Amino acid sequence: MSTDNKLHIEVWSDVVCPFCFIGKRHYEQALAQFEHADDVVLEWKSYQLDPEFVQPGERYDLEQGLAKKYNRPVEAIHAMQQQITNTAKESGLDFDFSKAVTFNTFQAHRVLHKAKEKGLGDKAKEAFFSDYFEKGQDLGNINVLKAEALKIGLTEEDFQDAISNDEYANKVKQDIQEAYELGVTGVPFFVFDRKYAVSGAQPSDAFLNTLKASYDDWKEKQKTTPFINVSEQGASCDINGNCD
């Protein structure tokens, strides 16, 4: 992704992370209030929440799966989901966990990388979030994943390349490794110009304040002070090794 002359923001997230979708909305609300929004570019990066819990190809009812994972009653999981649904509603999102399943998101991340390559990264992320949290789509089903990929503008060839080419698997793994190296322990995790970070679905004011601070620092770095020529040019060698 080209970020020349743009304030670069990276976001690590998983498509089954409810606070990643909520955090996306809060960030967008902040960006809408930011006067230099045209100078900002956002890049989505992959992260998997507990990928060992559900192996590729496996899927479980979400409530049952979470109850098993955390060793808690299904009723407690349902109450937690209702609380998240209420929080999402405050951000204009209409979550419906009734059809949700838990699945390994690795293949979905491969498709997201393909979409990013095609300039469809944000559109794909929004679609996959909505598919999972609002529409109850099973993105762990390869046929459903393909149908949703085609809806956002990928071709069948793009989709097959994404799920079969090791390049995209490696990109997912590289993102996750990079997150570990940065000390990311939860998502969403927003990094502004590799200097500021916002962890979690913070209020839009927190994003706006970070946008302003990071933009001011970034803008300062863009300033170039020309060298002052204190003498006439002396003998030198050019970049091709010619010394005249």
Domain span holding position 31: 10-222
pLDDT category of residue 93 using cuts at 50, 70 and 90: very high
**242 assigned to some structural domain:** no
Average pLDDT over residues 79-102: 96
- Give residues with Cβ within 8 angstroms of 198, minimum separation 6: 189, 190, 192, 206, 207, 210
Report pLDDT digits (tens) over 25-36: 999 999 999 999
With respect to residue 154, please indicate whether it lies within any of the assigned structural domains: yes
Confidence at residue 240, expressed as pLDDT on a 0 to 100 scale: 39
φ, ψ dihedrals at 10, nearest 5°: -110, 140
pTM, two decimals, is 0.88
Helix (H, G, I), strand (E, B) or coil at 60: strand
Q: Could you count the other beta carbons within 10 Å of the beta carbon of residue 25?
A: 18
Is 232 domain-assigned? no
The answer to whether residues 20 and 187 touch, using CB atoms and an 8 Å cutoff, is: yes
Q: Which residues contact 197 (CB under 8 A, 6 or more apart)?
A: 189, 190, 191
Is residue 4 one of the residues assigned to a domain? no
Query: Which whole-number Å values give the CA distances from 209 to 10, 135, 147, 205, 206, in the listed order?
Result: 17, 33, 39, 6, 5
CA distances from 122 to 42, 169, 230 (A): 8, 19, 50
Q: What's the number of domains the chain is made of?
A: 1
The answer to whether residue 27 sits within a structural domain is yes
Does 243 map to a domain? no
DSSP secondary structure of 10-31 = EEEE-TT-HHHHHHHHHHHHHH
- Domain-embedded: residue 2: no
Q: What is the CATH number of the domain that holds 131?
A: 3.40.30.10
Reduced to 3 states (helix: H, G, I; strand: E, B; else coil), residue 49 is coil
Is residue 240 situated within a structural domain?
Answer: no
Span 24-64, pLDDT tens digits: 999 999 999 999 999 999 999 999 998 888 877 777 889 99
CB of 7 within 8 A of CB of 215?
yes
